[in-house]
A and B are shown apart, each in its own frame.
Chain A
Amino acid sequence: MSVLRSEWTKLRSVRSTWIAAASAVAAGVALSVLGVSDLLGTPPSELSAGWDPTAESLKGFLFAQLVIGMLGALAITPEYATGMIGTSLVFVPSRRRLLAAKTAVVAAVGLATALVTTLLSFAVVQLMVRGADLPAAGLGDPGVARALLGGAAYLTLVALLGLAVGALVRSATSSLALLVGALLLVPALGPGLPGVLGDWFGRFWPITAGQAAYAVVPVDGALAPGPGILLLAGAAVAAGLAAQLVFRRRDI
């Protein structure tokens, strides 16, 4: 408990945490609003068959996920940048406990940020959609609550991935580069690869797979929501274990 309290103090006492959390919410909502505003003039009859107002309202994840991933990375990279990690390990020599405590506080802050981002994006976009007389989603509609929880789980897992990446590469800039690659570039470019490789990236790249968790209308070729989020969770656990292993073995 004492280490958890310490890590919470560290995380809450720097501006970057709150800036990241606020930016994730703001960017997520703003980008979702921007994404849907294009469609507002469309007559309902011209909407595509796969119209998914829930998934549509979470388009802002594209950017929010990057900020939330950095929130995770920033729970550890400044300790390396400043050298404070040395002091931390004198007070808590068990590296396993130190990283476990960081994981717990990042999960908590990540989940809170994820829930606000998800619910606010959903609420604002549904209001706009309803105002334009398009079919909107309600919390009681089949699959919607599950998709929103899936969305929050997705962003939380991305925060934990960010922490693992930060622990592995020990630098904020390298973490950002890796997260841009994993969250944006690979999902965008991977499916374009020829043959089986492209199919694999389109279905099984953990980020792409996890995005199935917040769709209500199934996307062609994508995994189902359950297996999708499990695959992402598996990747986050694997990255977390790799970070533990390296953190425990490596000289500071």
Chain B
Amino acid sequence: MHGIRAERLTKRYGATVAVDDLSFTAQPGVITGFLGPNGAGKSTTLRMLTGLTRPTSGAITIGGRRLADLDDPARTVGALLDARAVHPHRTAAQHLLAFAQAAGLDRRRVGEVLELVGLGAAGDRRAGEFSLGMQQRLGIATALLGDPGVLVLDEPLNGLDPEGIRWLRTLLRDLAREGRTILFSSHLMSEMELTAHHLVVVGRGRLIAEATLDDFVRAHTTRAVTVRAGSPDRLGGALARAGVDFAAQPDSSLLVTGADAPTVGRIAAAEGLALDELSPVRESLEDVFLRLTHEATDYEGVAA
């Protein structure tokens, strides 16, 4: 099975740099999450991967070859770039048939992939009547038509209901277990956390981090301790004297970032303070992601 490799991939639109010197890999047998805020260049990267957009410089290849140079593209790579990319008047089965024919696939594949994505009963319905979730399923069916070893999915979880999200996770895991390369993008860390093995995090077109999910968590999550005592001031004073960093929280607890829970407990005991709460907290991956991409974010919402 082929992997995906981006090497110094760059795309400029006039003065705007959509993708900036981006290098990463996605390996066979692994679900690689391609993560970044909106406007980070994820879709542009995937469009360069599928040959729709030409890189300004650098390359992104499948098993070392550009998509256009593959001997049998449809059996090598399947892509879902935009779930809404269906003609509203065409039925799901006709949509799939057109692509099955283009790839020289047996027309039985149409029924098979419809069953696989849970649209077995909806094959004769017009794609325009589909909910976004059903369109995502149709898009995934299209990507799976040629039974490809490489799957590229742009925001495949968008519009899926919780059951659909669980279904897709299971499907992706099964496909990865068969040795396929899976690269899927999302702007939501919470989705990645439960699905991806490997993370490629981008912001403003640049690589921010590339690591396994575990390494990413270890490297980037800061450990902290929430501590609460009857007298926050005395506790604060004791911590300050011990040279431990902390921040007072609105609920009169203290968030300690400079020491672990046992150390905080000992400092409090030495001061003769009874603690109401002492609990380690781990920064959520969502917070890590937001922090990491903070500088690289083009469009930031204003906190309510």
Contacts and interface: CB of A to CB of B under 8 A. Distances in A.
A90 B77 contact: yes
Given A13-B89, A83-B82, A86-B47, 15 more contacts: A3-B101, A6-B102, A10-B90, A13-B97, A79-B87, A82-B85, A82-B88, A83-B85, A88-B102, A89-B51, A90-B51, A90-B78, A91-B103, A93-B67, A252-B47
A93 B71 CA distance: 11
Interface string A1-34: 0110111011001111000000000000000000
Contact of B73 (A16, A84, A91, A251): A91
A83 B98 CA distance: 15
B105 to A, nearest CB: 9
Contacts of B104: 2
**Closest 8 CB pairs between A and B?**
A83-B85, A6-B102, A13-B94, A252-B52, A6-B101, A93-B68, A2-B104, A9-B98
A86 B99 contact: no
A78 B89 CA distance: 11
Interface string A71-98: 0000000110011101111111110000
B173 interface: no
14 contacts: A3-B102, A6-B98, A7-B98, A13-B97, A13-B98, A78-B87, A79-B87, A82-B86, A86-B52, A87-B81, A90-B77, A91-B73, A93-B51, A93-B67
A40 B24 CA distance: 77
Contact of A82 (B74, B84, B103): B84
A89 B102 contact: no
A15 B78 CA distance: 28
A7 B79 CA distance: 19
B70 interface: yes
Interface in A148-181: none
Contact of A16 (B77, B85, B89, B98): B89
Contacts of A2: 101-104
Interface of A is mostly: helix
Contacts of B98: 6-7, 9-10, 13
A86 B85 contact: yes
A53 B23 CA distance: 71
Nearest to B51: A93
A132 to B, nearest CB: 43
A97 to B, nearest CB: 10
A147 to B, nearest CB: 37
A87 B52 CA distance: 9
Given A14-B89, A93-B51, A251-B52, A87 B94 contact: no
Contacts of A78: 87
Given A14-B90, A82-B84, A82-B86, A9 B68 contact: no
Contacts of A90: 50-51, 67, 73-74, 77-79, 81
Interface range for B: 20 to 34
Interface of B: 47, 50-54, 67-68, 70, 73-74, 77-79, 81-82, 84-91, 94, 97-99, 101-104, 142, 146
Contact of B50 (A6, A10, A13, A86): A86
Given A16-B89, A87-B85, A94 B68 contact: yes
A10 B86 CA distance: 11
Contacts of B97: 9, 13
A18 to B, nearest CB: 11
Contacts of A14: 87, 89-90
A9 B90 CA distance: 10
A111 to B, nearest CB: 22
A146 B54 CA distance: 48
Nearest to A2: B104
B151 to A, nearest CB: 12
A86 B86 CA distance: 11
Give the one of B82, B84, B98, B104 with max A CB within 10 A. Answer: B98
B99 A91 contact: yes
A214 to B, nearest CB: 34
Contacts of A87: 79, 81, 85, 99, 142
A3 B99 CA distance: 9
A149 B28 CA distance: 58
Interface in A43-75: none
B181 to A, nearest CB: 15
Given A9-B97, A9-B101, A252-B47, A86 B81 contact: yes
Contacts of B84: 82-83
A3 B102 CA distance: 5
Contacts of B102: 2-3, 5-6, 88, 91-92
A13 B53 contact: no
A84 B89 CA distance: 13
Given A86-B52, A91-B74, A13 B90 contact: yes
